[in-house]
Structures are given as C-alpha cells and as structure tokens.
Structure 1
Amino acid sequence: MKNNNLRIFFHVSTIIGLLMLESPIILLANNIEPMFFGVPFLISWVLFWWAFCTIIFFIAYMKNWGKTTNIKRRD
C-alpha cells in the first residue's frame, strides 16, 4: 500500500510540475516588476518549477520509481 501511495505521489507531482511549466498560467507570471533576488518573476517562476521537477525526479530515481522487484528467495 505504501509503495502504491508513493507511486501516485510521484505521478501527481510530475504532472503538476510540468503543467505549471507549460500551461498558460505562465503568462500570468510574465511580469518584470516583482523581482526575487534581482531576477524577474518569470525567470524565478521557471527556475522554481524546474527545481521542483528535478528534485521529484531525483527522489523517484532513488526510490526506484517504476521498477518492479521480482526477487525470489531461495530457501
């Protein structure tokens, strides 16, 4: 059950991250005036969601997301 919940979490997180990068919502972020650490908001938006997706993919890689374990024990 825990593995299934983790798999659903990775799928949902990936879809949300990619939607936030590629959807028309990014047009709302197309402003220069609100600056974060001297970087325009649009660049900050893209970098945040890129980092979010990268972290999710790294965690999924470390947890062997998508791989089935077919190890049989010999007794």
Structure 2
Amino acid sequence: MANTTRRIYRDISDPSILVKCRECPWWFAIRLDPIEAYKAGEGHEITVHEEEPRRAQHARIEFEKRQRRAQRHAVSA
C-alpha cells in the first residue's frame, strides 16, 4: 500500500505561501502564487528526492483542475 502522506506541504497565509518538505526540515520556498508554490515543491521533489516528474506534478495538476472547475461553476451561476 502506498504512503498517502505527502512529502511537500504548503502553509497558506496572506499574501504568501510557505512551501516545506517533511523530509528536509532545512528546505523551504516562499511564493505569492499558488501555481508557483506547487512548482517550487515539484522542483524540490524531482531534484532532491529523485521523484518521477509525473508523480511530482500530480498535486499541481489536480489543483489546476479544481480551479478550472470552480471558475466554470462561478461563470454559469
């Protein structure tokens, strides 16, 4: 069974997003845009943890899908 705990997590506050890694307590990134925050985490996972790019990008892709879905519903409402 796969480990469902994500390595990368985001602490979202106004106006910034702090991106951290559960396995690398010294690593962090600060971004202002959610997509850029996801990309920072992806880069860390790919470079440091040798994660497969497709797997590292999964969280961002799902976030973008939810965002598009929410925008469609907001327009149609």
Q: TM-score range by the shorter chain?
A: 0.3 to 0.5
TM-score by length of 1: 0.40
Based on CA coordinates, which of the two structures has the bigger radius of gyration?
Answer: 1
Q: From the two aligned structures, give the one with the greater strand fraction.
A: 2
